[in-house]
Structure 1
Amino acid sequence: MVKTFTNKPLVIGVTALNAVDSPGPGVAVIRALREGLDRELRIIGLSYESLEPGVYLHDLVDKTYQIPYPSAGAEALAERLQYIHSKEDIDIIIPNFDAELYNFIKISPQLRIMGIHTFLPTHEALEARDKVNLTKFGKKYKLVVPQDLVIHKADDLKKAAEELDYPLVVKGKYYEAYVCHNLELAQKAFYQLSAKWGTPIIVQQFIKGTEINIAALGDGEGNCISIIPMRKLYITDKGKAWAGITIEDNDLLELARQFTKATNWRGGFELEIMRDNNGKLYIMEVNPRFPAWIYLSAGAGQNQPAALTKLALGENVKPFEEYQVGKMFIRYAWDHITDVSEFQQLSAFGEL
Structure 2
Amino acid sequence: MANKYDNLCIAVTGLNANDNPGPGMAVIRSLKEYFGDSLRIVGLSYESLEPGIYLRDYVNKTYQVPYPTEGTAALLERLTYINQRENLDLIIPNFDSELFNFIKTAPQLQQMGIATYLPTQQQLALRDKVHLKDFGTKHGFYVPADHKLYTADDLQKAAADFGFPMVIKGKFYEAYVVYTMDQALKAFHQLNATWGVPVIAQQYIKGNEINIAALGNGKGDNISLVAMRKLYITDKGKAWAGVTIKDDKLTQLAGNFALATNWKGGYEMEIMSTAEGHLYILEVNPRFPAWIYLTAAAGQNQPAALTKMALGEVVEPYTDYQAGKLFVRYSWDHIADIADFQQISAMGEL
Does the TM-score normalized on the shorter chain lie above 0.5?
Answer: yes
Contact 1:10–1:39 (8 Å) recurs in 2: no
Give 1:36 deviation, angstroms: 1.6
1:105 counterpart letter in structure 2: I
Q: How does 1:75-224 map to 2 (within 5 A)?
A: 75-224=73-222
Contact 2:5–2:35 (8 Å) recurs in 1: no
Give 1:8 deviation, angstroms: 6.1
* 2:254 is equivalent to residue 247 of structure 1: no
Give the paired residue count: 349
- Separation in 2 of the partners of 1:57 and 1:8? 22
Change (3 A) 1:7 1:199: closer
Structure 1 counterpart of 2:323, from 325, 334, 341: 325
Give 1:252 deviation, angstroms: 0.3
Could you tell me the TM-score, scaled by structure 2's length?
0.98
Change (3 A) 1:336 1:33: same
- Separation in 2 of the partners of 1:73 and 1:80? 11
Structure 2 counterpart of 1:316, from 269, 294, 314: 314
* 2:237 is equivalent to residue 232 of structure 1: no
Give 1:6 deviation, angstroms: 6.6
Question: Secondary structure of the residue that 1:93 maps to in structure 2?
Answer: strand
Change (3 A) 1:7 1:136: closer
1:176 counterpart letter in structure 2: E
Contact 2:233–2:239 (8 Å) recurs in 1: yes
Gaps of 5+ in 2: none
- Separation in 2 of the partners of 1:8 and 1:139? 46
- Separation in 1 of the partners of 2:127 and 2:38? 36
- Alpha-carbon RMSD: 1.2
Give 1:253 deviation, angstroms: 0.6
Question: Secondary structure of the residue that 1:314 maps to in structure 2?
Answer: coil
Give 1:251 deviation, angstroms: 0.2
Structure 1 counterpart of 2:283, from 279, 282, 285: 285
- Separation in 2 of the partners of 1:156 and 1:316? 49
- Separation in 1 of the partners of 2:282 and 2:62? 34
Structure 1 segments, 4+ long, off by >4 Å, are 4-8
- Separation in 1 of the partners of 2:154 and 2:262? 35
Give 1:182 deviation, angstroms: 1.3
- Separation in 2 of the partners of 1:171 and 1:8? 43
- Separation in 1 of the partners of 2:38 and 2:319? 27
- Separation in 2 of the partners of 1:327 and 1:126? 30
Give 1:140 deviation, angstroms: 1.6
Paired-residue identity, %: 62
- Separation in 1 of the partners of 2:157 and 2:118? 38
Instruction: Return 110-119 or 172-181, whichever deviates more.
Output: 172-181
Give 1:277 deviation, angstroms: 1.3
Cα-to-partner distance string for 1:37-63 (whole Å, 9 max, x where unaligned): 257200000000000001100000000
Contact 2:209–2:230 (8 Å) recurs in 1: yes
Cα-to-partner distance string for 1:218-241 (whole Å, 9 max, x where unaligned): 001111000000000000011000
Give 1:306 deviation, angstroms: 0.2
Contact 1:231–1:245 (8 Å) recurs in 2: yes
Question: Secondary structure of the residue that 1:203 maps to in structure 2?
Answer: strand
* 2:9 is equivalent to residue 14 of structure 1: no
Alignment match, 1:60: 58
1:299 counterpart letter in structure 2: A
Change (3 A) 1:108 1:326: same
Contact 1:143–1:283 (8 Å) recurs in 2: yes
Change (3 A) 1:7 1:227: closer
- Separation in 2 of the partners of 1:223 and 1:31? 26
* 2:263 is equivalent to residue 265 of structure 1: yes
Alignment match, 1:307: 305
Cα-to-partner distance string for 1:84-123 (whole Å, 9 max, x where unaligned): 0000000000000000000000000000000000000000
Instruction: Return 34-43 or 263-272, whichever deviates more.
Output: 34-43
Change (3 A) 1:7 1:283: closer
Alignment match, 1:337: 335
